[in-house]
Every structure is written in structure tokens, then in C-alpha cells.
Structure 1
Amino acid sequence: MAEHNEIEMAEDHVEMVDHSKIIENKAIPMQILRDATSNFGVENLLGEGGFGSVYRGTLQDGREIAVKKMNQSAIAENDRLLVYQYMPQGTLSKHLFHWGDHSLRPLDWTTRLSIALDVARSVEYLHTLALQNQSYIHRDLKPPNILLGDDLRAKASDFGLVTATEEDRESVKTKCRGTPGYMAPEYLDGRVTRKIDVYSFRVILMELITGKKATDHSRAEDDIHITTWLR
């Protein structure tokens, strides 16, 4: 489950003090992060996405971290970094859809149920527990944005699209952004409510149950989306 300060950073568009980064309410000098990641060396690259690249690092006290370096095309001034807890088992999508490529075993039913409950708790936290009288809406829940620890417990990640509702309002209007296959139909007009995360969770649950992807163009045209295929 995401920590509150992580969500706040995402909602505030990664507003941070120059040359220092925040983890567990502590400021970390940029040089320490460079040392931890071997100056963001390619050997520590964990993955790349639309908002930036993620690097594995080790702090001086031995804690392992993941550092997201934002793309300069998105952030014009200075470097912008997000520091997260390192989740050694990687993404849920790796374990659901690419386990054979990584010499992994398929997830058993007990683990799938545990992951589903962890994701549900993450959604509940964002929607009702993170801040009183306000909801954070993830807008991009999907297996690549769910990370697993060594115990295969799951945490939601990647808060680049998180939107906060205004106090006493259940919805906001914004640009429609997300991942096809996980986006609720009513979200296409840009109206954001907590229900769009619930829809995404529903799709993830279908993927956990079936081992099928949300969208698969190798299926018949009417069954490309998992919701119609499962029905």
C-alpha cells in the first residue's frame, strides 16, 4: 500500500527542493542518490516508462531503493526524482503473463487472492483513508503498476496520473489519460470518479483469475477485451 507522502508528491507534480529528494520524511542529497545508483548507470536500470526511467539503488545504510528519474521533456528545470521502496519481485504483469520468460512458477491461487486483497486495500486507502474528506484517484491501475515484494505481497505504484477530488465533491473533470483496456467507458469524457479505479480493479481481478491479458488482439474481434471474452 502506498505511503501518504508518496501520493502527495505525485499529486503535487513532484514538487521538491532542488538537489534534495524526499524518502520517509528525510532529505537525501542528490550525490547520495548518484552514488546509490552508480550515477544512474545502465546496469541499474529497472525499466522505462512514459514519465521516466527507474533505477535500482542501495543507500549507505544498506536499504534498497528504486529511483524514478523523470523525463526532461516533461520537467523542464533541474532533475526531478521520486524515491520508492525497492520491490525485488518486480511487477505483477511479469508474474502473470511472462513468468515462463523469467523462469518463474505460475502464481498459485492463494497468492492471487492475497494480491487481489492487497490491491483492493490500496484502492481503499487512496479513496477513503489517505486524507479525510478527499479522495485520491489513481487513474492507471494495471499489472505493470503493481509491484511485488519477496513475500509476493503487492503494493500499488506509479502515481503520475493521480488526481485528487476537491473536498465534498465526488468527481472532477480532467483530460482522459490512462491505459486502454483498464479505462472505464464513462471516463472517456474526462469525468473522474472513484468508480474508474474500481473498474480497473475489476479488470485486474479478471486477469488474476484467468491469466489472460486485458486486451489481446489474437482473440476474436468481439473478444479482444477481457470483459467481453469472459462474458
Structure 2
Amino acid sequence: MSQKLKGRKAVVTGAGSGMGRAIAKRFAEEGASVAALDLDLAAAESTAQSIVEAGGTAFSLRVDVSDDASVRAAIDGSVTALGGIDVLANIAGILDGYAPVLETSEQLWDRIIGVDLKGPFLMTRAVLPTMLENGGGTIVNMASIAGFVARGGGAAYTSAKHGVIGLTKQTAADYGLRGIRVNAICPGAVETAMTKQILDEGEAAVIESINAVPAGRHAQPEEIANLALFLANDESSFVHGAAYVIDGGWTIV
């Protein structure tokens, strides 16, 4: 084992399933102590238990990333349990059913923006004082190819993911000289429950583009986790404010 995160303390939101679960487990495999956070506490507990059973260190907490009080409580609990936070992975996210503007209610807009954009903002704002006090840290945000191009989601989702990339760049610019690195991952289609939702709800042209990527397949969550690991450890020490596309070639055709 390379133990690229040996001794690090990592918080992962959306850790109960999909990419968040894969990232939490990958971080633990590389030596990190992990706080597995999710709105679904039972799912977070399952992830933490699987890490512990594999010989790692983890615990679980419930968090609603769109609620500031919940976020602050989760960060405080993580600091207490872990003894600090070196890595934050903002992975929690939801889809909008590919709704265009005229089919996007204010309630749907607020829900998507609340989880997918406000969530990373609140988590980042809550963790920064601890990271700055400790001399630095690493933040990995989950964006999407919808942060670059249209048709990766609906109006709310695409707007939120564009915002995540902007938040990533601005936070990196504001805090880079103080030891904070911030980068984003921009996946295409990944084989998760959310992908099934895309295939169930997406327009025919969208589904066709997903299925016709040059890679010829969807990504596995573990492949996204490998990129998250790179951005979280010192191998990426000169990477600041980047948005890494990992889409099997979706955006080049």
C-alpha cells in the first residue's frame, strides 16, 4: 500500500453511495481517517462500517449540506472525532431531471442550487478556519461536464455545476497562498444510481451522447475516486483551481 494519505483526516460528503462512497473508501485505503457524511445516516454508517471492516478508520455523521446549522454541526463533530481536517471532498449532489427553464419550478431550482452549489460553499466556509489554523488543507469539489457544456443536466443542475467551478477557482485564488488547494472533478456518465436516473429521465439525444462516448462505456465510481485521491494528496501539490474533466471523451465529440 502506498498510503498517500497516511495520517490525514478527511471529510467526504455524499459518502453513503456512488462516487462519495468510492472516494471515502479510497481515501481510507490510502491511510486517511475518514468522516463519512451523508443525508442518509444509515448509508453513511454502511460506508464507515465497510472501511472499518477493511482495517481502516472511519465514522459516520448525518449532514444536510444545504443547511448551515447542519453543516457546522457536522464539521464540529468531524473535528472532534478526527482531531482536525486536512481534506474535504464535497461529493454530495442531486439531479434535476433535465428540466429546462420553463419546466423548472422555483422549488426545484432552490433544491438543486441548495445541494449542488450552496452545499460546497457552506462546507468550504465551515472547514476553512480549521484548515487555516492547521497551516493548510485540500478541498476537492464535485462539479460535472455540465459545468462546461449544456445538455449534461437541466437548467438548475447546469447552472449549479458552472457555479461549483467558479467557487473552486475563486477559493483557490483567495486561499492558495495560505496553504489551501482547491480543485474540481468534472465527470461525465458514471455507473451509479444517478446515472440510472439520467437514463430514465434524459432526452433521447442526451442518452445517445452518453452511450456514444469514445471510451465506449460509463466510468466506474472507483475511477473517479482515483482522480479524487490524486487531487487530495501531495502528488498534485502544484495543482490549484483546476477543473479536471473525466468523461470518457463525451465533451470532445
Q: TM-score range by the shorter chain?
A: 0.3 to 0.5
TM-score by length of 2: 0.30
TM-score by length of 1: 0.33
Between structures 1 and 2, the one with greater helix share: 2
Structure with the larger RCO, 1 or 2 (CA within 8 Å, 6+ apart): 2
| Rg comparison, structure with higher value | 1
